[in-house]
């Protein structure tokens, strides 16, 4: 049982992480909720929005991804969006209540030739008063510094799964390459957004392995997204789940959220992909177990999300409110709170 304020640890062992998963469910959720309350207001949830600024045609072979050029999923590859179009989407996201705007490009790695356009795009989004985040594949140290100088606050680069299961997910990028990109991001002074995907056929030990990796990084992720696999026909892992009907058990998903909260107590633990298929009750238990961030906007790259009306009703019924960004509350957030009846 936790007492006082639990200090973040970076010396978790894999055995300790597995032992947390094995706790009686009620005890695990109670401990996670206690840790959550030590660092956060449990009634506040951060709202972020993600836009695919360059869709499809990725050279990676991530077995879950509809955007991989290796698989036939019916998704058409597109060019990088114009900066004006991205800024318009960001403005709409801000006016709809989002506090952070994330830009994702389906690339294996960022090319130097695309840096000027992206830097301009990031600067304009930042000028709207939004926190900025991007996921653009692998980065060099110089590229990370250039993105930081352009005004990028967060960089997303997921580990996807634990190191032992990684070879069953992707073979075109090594685990160490992912860790190297995270190091470049930290060294440049940006915040990290790093998590993974569950429900890809991995075992509990692999989920513990993922969280153990995150908890033993030199700095815990500032944002820790937990994605539930959305199986896409035409992808190896999606086809496997669709044929076998083996999605991750809801209770096991909540356990994963709770362990993430305990081992990374100061991270924003985000319900990411898969939320559209979650029941209201499952989401409520995830919030109770320490999740305090969600994506909004109806779409997450190429997968669906709940609509604003559904999220507003859920927030009302659970007595939740949007987490205030640093500084004065903007009009969009106020409008959302008025819509939810909590301002």
Which residue among the candidates 94, 102, 261, 321 is catalytic per the annotation? 102
53 to 90, 109, 152, 336: CA distances (angstroms)? 11, 14, 15, 25
Q: At what angle do helices 141-150 and 115-127 cross, to 10 degrees?
A: 30
Number of H helices, E strands in the chain: 12, 12
Q: Is 194 a catalytic residue?
A: no
Q: CA–CA separation, 86 vs 101, rounded Å?
A: 10
Counting Cβ atoms within 10 Å, is residue 225 exposed (0-12), middle (13-18) or buried (19+)? buried
Q: Is 286 a catalytic residue?
A: no
Residue 45 has φ and ψ, to the nearest 5°, of: -130, 130
Which residue among the candidates 173, 178, 270, 321 is catalytic per the annotation? 270
CB 169 within 8 A of CB 194: no
Q: At what angle do helices 250-263 and 25-39 cross, to 10 degrees?
A: 40
Which residue among the candidates 133, 194, 264, 286 is catalytic per the annotation? 133
Count the alpha carbons within 13 Å of 42 in the hemisphere toward its beta carbon.
Answer: 17
Q: Is 264 a catalytic residue?
A: no
Which residue among the candidates 94, 100, 173, 193 is catalytic per the annotation? 193
CB 78 within 8 A of CB 55: yes
Q: CA–CA separation, 327 vs 318, rounded Å?
A: 26
Active site members: 58, 62, 65, 102, 133, 193, 270
């Amino acid at each position: 049982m936790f007492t006082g304020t639990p200090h973040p640890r970076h010396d978790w062992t894999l055995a300790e992480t597995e032992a947390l998963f094995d706790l009686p469910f009620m005890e695990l959720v109670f401990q996670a909720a206690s840790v959550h309350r030590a660092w956060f207001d449990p009634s506040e949830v951060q709202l972020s929005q993600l836009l695919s600024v360059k869709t499809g045609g990725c050279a990676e072979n991530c077995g879950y991804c509809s955007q991989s050029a290796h698989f036939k999923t019916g998704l058409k590859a597109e060019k990088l969006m114009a900066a004006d179009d991205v800024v318009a989407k960001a403005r709409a996201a801000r006016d709809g209540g989002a506090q952070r705007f994330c830009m994702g490009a389906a690339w294996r790695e960022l090319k130097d030739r695309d840096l000027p356009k992206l830097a301009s795009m990031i600067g304009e989004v930042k000028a709207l008063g939004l926190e900025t985040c991007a996921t653009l594949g692998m980065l060099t140290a110089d590229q990370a510094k250039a993105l930081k100088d352009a005004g990028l606050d967060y960089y997303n680069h997921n580990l996807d799964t634990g190191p032992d299961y990684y070879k069953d997910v992707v073979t075109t990028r090594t685990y160490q390459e992912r860790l190297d990109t995270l190091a470049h991001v930290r060294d440049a002074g940006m915040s990290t957004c790093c998590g993974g995907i569950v429900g890809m056929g991995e075992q509990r030990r692999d989920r513990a392995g993922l969280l153990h990796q995150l908890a033993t990084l030199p700095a815990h992720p500032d944002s820790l997204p937990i994605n539930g696999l959305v199986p896409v026909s035409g992808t190896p892992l999606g086809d496997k789940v669709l044929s076998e009907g083996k999605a991750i058990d809801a209770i096991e998903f909540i356990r994963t959220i709770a362990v993430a909260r305990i081992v990374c107590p100061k991270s924003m633990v985000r319900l990411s992909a898969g939320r559209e298929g979650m029941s209201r009750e499952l989401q409520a238990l995830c919030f109770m177990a320490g999740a305090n961030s969600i994506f909004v906007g109806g779409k997450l790259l190429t997968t669906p999300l709940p609509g604003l009306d559904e999220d507003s009703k859920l927030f009302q019924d659970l007595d939740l409110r949007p987490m205030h960004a640093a500084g004065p509350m903007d009009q969009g957030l106020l409008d959302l709170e008025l819509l939810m009846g909590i301002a």
